[in-house]
Structure 1
Amino acid sequence: MPEELIQEIQARIEKLERAESNLTAKERELREREMKLIERENTLEQQLLSVSLLKRCATAHPFSKGIHTQRTVLSSDVTAEVSKSVGLIHINGQPIATGFRVGDNFIATCVHVIGSVIIKDNPHVINCDRIAIEFERKVCNMKEDPDKIFRFQPTVAYIDEEFQFVVLELSIHSNGVPFPPPLICFGDIKTSDAIHLVGHPGRKQMMEDSDIIPKWSPDHDKEINPYIRALAEWSKECLPKSNGVKIDYYSFLLAPPRKIIFHTFFNEGSSGSPGVTIRDEKPCVVLMIEGGTPYSLDTIPISALLVEDWCKVEYGFAMSDIYKKMLNSPQKSLASNIFREII
């Protein structure tokens, strides 16, 4: 190596050493903290990857369909039947969430869906001029059919904030159109169940997502705890804070009441969607979607978080838990009206 080049390299090294020595104690502290954060984030990412339940199978070749799943035609028949009972809830003329028909003339959905139209508590009363439900919306840009849109009675029939379950009473249609058919079969959720979700993700046309794998605490703690704990630590370091305070976006999934957690492409607008399985060759409702996490802070839309798909966790509540609580409430007769068949 030429002598001139050696001298130039030595000069550069000496310059870097002088720059390093001129760093203030505060700058050194900040640099060390930055390196520790990078190291911790890399460690958490490796933990997530090692325990991830949600990774997709890689495509085998250019024309591969990816995960190779096939199901009986019966599942298509069942979801088609369920779709007749599922509607898109509108508030102030805007699509908001999902609801489904139950009982004689009722709609079930999530409490938070109707929060903005509640005008009185105990008993709860809604502004029924601001809310409606539209059935059979299977095409995104289809023209609204007045015969598919139903209004509600002002008094809320039943509300359970613990399980986010609310029942609204439909009004008789002004054109005499009969109510869509209710879902009448319900049951306890099982790990072996193949869950089919039917709802309005994106607040648009009705969609379905099948082969959902349900997990819950404490029955599946060995499987899900490492995953949720790793996500919780990652979220505190990498996701938006609230008033400067780190937020754990995930640990609530393991806290009571029991939450059924799973992964689905269903997003905003899916709250209130039923999750059904097939029993005795007919649809059996086993859960209702409540939401997903990481949830949105008021000032930061969830779409701006740019969270990887495998870091998103959706959840809902078991219909069996909702039924047991409702059966032991003053609304026992309503529970019998809604939960007509337990499978």
Structure 2
Amino acid sequence: MADPSKEVEEDRSSKDVKQERMDDSSEKEAKAVPSKYELQQNTQRKSHIFHFLIKNDKCAVTCDTSMTVLEALMRSNIFKDIKKKNTKKDIVIQRPKGAVPRAAVKTDFPCCLIEKDEILKIQFINNDGDASTEQKTIVHDFYKPETLVTFYIRTTGGDKIKLLMKNKDLRLNVDDVCVYAFKEEDCITALKRDGRFIDDIFKKDCALREMDSETIYEMSNTVEYFDQKHFQIIVRSDNNQPDSLEEVFSDDSIEMEEASAADVKENVQPNQHSINTEQEETKQKKNTMKSNNASTNSPKIIPDSEEILAILRAQFKDLLETLKQRENLKNKSDTLKFFRAEYDKSVQSFSEVKKVKQLMRLSDSVCQIRVEGSPRGTGFLLFDRFILTNAHVIGEFDPFTRKLSKTFTAVFGYEDLDAKEAKYVPVKEHVAAYYHGKINMDRYLDFALLELKDVDEIADCPGLLSRYTHAPPPNRGGICIVGHPGEGVKKMDPCFIIGKEHLQEAAHKHISENVNFIHVMTQQSLAEKWETHDNQFMYNSCFFHGSSGSPVFDENCYLVGVHTGGYAYKGENCKTRSIMEYSYSMQPVLESIIAQAKKSGRADILKLLSEYKTLNPSLKDDDVDMEEAPQNQEDEHE
């Protein structure tokens, strides 16, 4: 699969304006080398100036509105010299203006929200090791005033949660902090990205109480209407956020079996202390006996499960409220029934034995595309002797003769590393059909149709075109991708489509949760790469490099698209991650193949395609009866 992160790295080449490397690590975090998209936007950015007060010295700094406060400050040698002397301390930046004067902003606070000639007070405080007030910034062009809001929170909470700041010295030095957020975000996401608040506020049942009106806002609310409001965090109840739906909607008539509940606690929360009662001791004895008699296939504790559980807990309440509004669920009973029904649907999507067998059968037609013996991508037998993959998988070739510059091989049945059962089928040296780019304002294509030299070895493999019916691209529901991710053996990945109306929400959520790693992309580059088309659908998959060209099946095992790419970046330990992935639907691909076959005189392709009754009226009888070229394209050039 194509790696957009590599494209971004290539953009930051000698063609771009070279920037002077900064000396200390904080400055490297604060400022990334601009991409060509940033440079193109420089003419649209506005020059900006503000002042800062440090050790009684008033200094001015000039920047542009796309920067963060720290990036602007690092332009000042005076600031840099003082910061070097305080490398082990945290920076506190206080604004004199705003609805709450002297509130402290983060170092990644957008300059576009700083008023002209505003004087920021800079000081350094001890870092107690719990957390730093500094944090890597999100992409610069995200910072546009019309998309942002700012609100204020007291550094001390209500009666049951006094200490809110990870750095206790921050609470001693300032009374309020200023938080910025994107309008469509919920409060929890904004506070988590801010990074200065303790984790307990996300685990407990907390809320925001407005200082002026005493109005209470749930933290699951979006921040769109929080702009310039002043809050204090309070605890509504002593109960922690619920772990599951059963805890939220449980009635006296709905009980979990003791053994099952004990297993959940044992495996998901291994460090949780038990309640010291006779009843609990009895449960523990039963669980101990059960554990001793368990088979070797009993569930194991998942590494890092506590961290995953904490993330799920924090997201649960907001997702629940969104669901209630979207599905118009009135009470607990309705919501529980809905979840049970949806759970049944998702489980049944690809777990029915019949569907699993069908997918296994269809997966026989999926192959690994190799170039000069090296894995390059994935393809699949579309019909007869023709396989389909992505155009970017085969790379460049002679546009006039359509002759491939390298030797390609389709490897079927590569399901084990020893590859004893794999079947190596050579590909003819001329491309049968190809398109990479826009076909109009609404559609984009990235496909290559290749012809196999010998199909005797794969005679039993079904052409996946038999599993296609003419339909628009799906916008919701489950899908299953079959391919060779990571240039490895064949794998499957069931996942769910992200509706087009939820794309921005899903993207911002992923970015806010992975802000430490997504620091080389800009909003402009994302906008260009995220240009969606009518024949495109999105999802979250674990298929990255090597999986381009994989077939995508819907919940009924019908072919709906070709897995093509994703908006990738380097995550933790330099592993490739992706904000989301996408496929292009089949119908425009088939229409282009038919059009090219007509133009090149490939009556053999048209005749084969005429056997499929689901292609659409684009293939007519007179097209099939056309006079075939005297020689096929392969023979013509040999």
Work out whether the TM-score is over 0.5. yes
**Residue 286 (structure 1) aligned to one of 536, 560, 583:** 560
Shift in Å, 1:23: 6.0
**Residue 208 (structure 1) aligned to one of 488, 492, 495:** 492
Paired positions, count: 297
Shift in Å, 1:327: 3.8
Is 1:159 paired with 2:434?
Answer: yes
Structure 1 stretch displaced more, 189-198 or 63-72: 63-72
Preserved CA contact (<8 Å) 1:98 1:271: yes
Shift in Å, 1:248: 2.4
Preserved CA contact (<8 Å) 1:186 1:341: no
| Residue 318 to residue 62, structure 1, CA distance change in 2 (3 Å) | farther
Aligned to 1:100: 380
| Residue 114 to residue 303, structure 1, CA distance change in 2 (3 Å) | farther
Is 1:274 paired with 2:551?
Answer: yes
| Residue 144 to residue 326, structure 1, CA distance change in 2 (3 Å) | same
Aligned to 1:150: 425
Is 1:87 paired with 2:367?
Answer: yes
| Residue 25 to residue 133, structure 1, CA distance change in 2 (3 Å) | same
Aligned to 2:185: 47
**Residue 20 (structure 1) aligned to one of 55, 72, 76:** 55
Rounded Cα–Cα distance in structure 2 between residues aligned with 1:285 and 1:274: 7
Matched AA of 2:453 = S
| Residue 75 to residue 214, structure 1, CA distance change in 2 (3 Å) | farther
Rounded Cα–Cα distance in structure 2 between residues aligned with 1:263 and 1:330: 35
**Residue 181 (structure 1) aligned to one of 459, 462, 466:** 462
Flag structure 1 segments of 5+ consecutive residues without an equivalent: 1-16, 52-56, 296-301
Rounded Cα–Cα distance in structure 2 between residues aligned with 1:18 and 1:337: 77
**Residue 395 (structure 2) aligned to one of 100, 104, 115:** 115
Shift in Å, 1:161: 1.1
Shift in Å, 1:224: 2.3
Is 1:194 paired with 2:472?
Answer: no
Rounded Cα–Cα distance in structure 2 between residues aligned with 1:260 and 1:335: 28
Secondary structure of 2:526's match? coil
| Residue 20 to residue 62, structure 1, CA distance change in 2 (3 Å) | farther
| Residue 92 to residue 38, structure 1, CA distance change in 2 (3 Å) | same
Matched AA of 1:224 = L
Higher relative contact order (CA 8 A, sep 6+): 1
| Residue 91 to residue 341, structure 1, CA distance change in 2 (3 Å) | same
Shift in Å, 1:321: 2.6
Aligned to 1:78: 358
Preserved CA contact (<8 Å) 2:369 2:376: yes
Preserved CA contact (<8 Å) 1:110 1:166: yes
Shift in Å, 1:200: 0.8
Shift in Å, 1:318: 0.6
Is 1:170 paired with 2:452?
Answer: yes
| Residue 171 to residue 337, structure 1, CA distance change in 2 (3 Å) | same
Rounded Cα–Cα distance in structure 2 between residues aligned with 1:338 and 1:214: 32
| Residue 26 to residue 203, structure 1, CA distance change in 2 (3 Å) | same
Rounded Cα–Cα distance in structure 2 between residues aligned with 1:250 and 1:61: 44
What do the CA deviations read for 1:295-331 (whole angstroms, capped 9, x no partner)?
6xxxxxx45796996x611011011232234444444
Is 1:312 paired with 2:582?
Answer: no
| Residue 161 to residue 336, structure 1, CA distance change in 2 (3 Å) | farther
Aligned to 1:13: none
Larger Rg: 2
Rounded Cα–Cα distance in structure 2 between residues aligned with 1:62 and 1:325: 56
Rounded Cα–Cα distance in structure 1 between residues aligned with 2:576 and 2:181: 17
| Residue 308 to residue 167, structure 1, CA distance change in 2 (3 Å) | closer
| Residue 289 to residue 277, structure 1, CA distance change in 2 (3 Å) | same
What do the CA deviations read for 1:83-126 (whole angstroms, capped 9, x no partner)?
1000111112221211000111011000000005x2x1123111
Rounded Cα–Cα distance in structure 2 between residues aligned with 1:47 and 1:238: 18
Shift in Å, 1:201: 1.0
Structure 1 stretch displaced more, 63-72 or 98-107: 63-72
| Superposition map of 1:5-16 within 5 A | none
Aligned to 1:9: none
Rounded Cα–Cα distance in structure 2 between residues aligned with 1:37 and 1:19: 15
Aligned to 1:11: none
| Residue 144 to residue 194, structure 1, CA distance change in 2 (3 Å) | same
Is 1:260 paired with 2:537?
Answer: yes
Scaled by the length of structure 1, the TM-score of the pair is 0.70
Is 1:38 paired with 2:108?
Answer: yes
Shift in Å, 1:202: 1.0
Flag structure 2 segments of 5+ consecutive residues without an equivalent: 1-51, 74-104, 111-137, 139-179, 190-219, 222-241, 245-263, 269-298, 300-308, 313-342, 438-444, 616-638
Rounded Cα–Cα distance in structure 2 between residues aligned with 1:18 and 1:250: 37
Matched AA of 2:181 = T
Matched AA of 2:566 = G
Preserved CA contact (<8 Å) 1:198 1:275: yes
What is the aligned-residue RMSD (CA, Å)?
A: 4.2
| Residue 89 to residue 238, structure 1, CA distance change in 2 (3 Å) | closer
Matched AA of 2:519 = L
Residue identity (%): 18
| Residue 77 to residue 32, structure 1, CA distance change in 2 (3 Å) | closer
What do the CA deviations read for 1:158-186 (whole angstroms, capped 9, x no partner)?
0021310110000126xx53443321221
Shift in Å, 1:190: 2.9
Matched AA of 1:123 = T
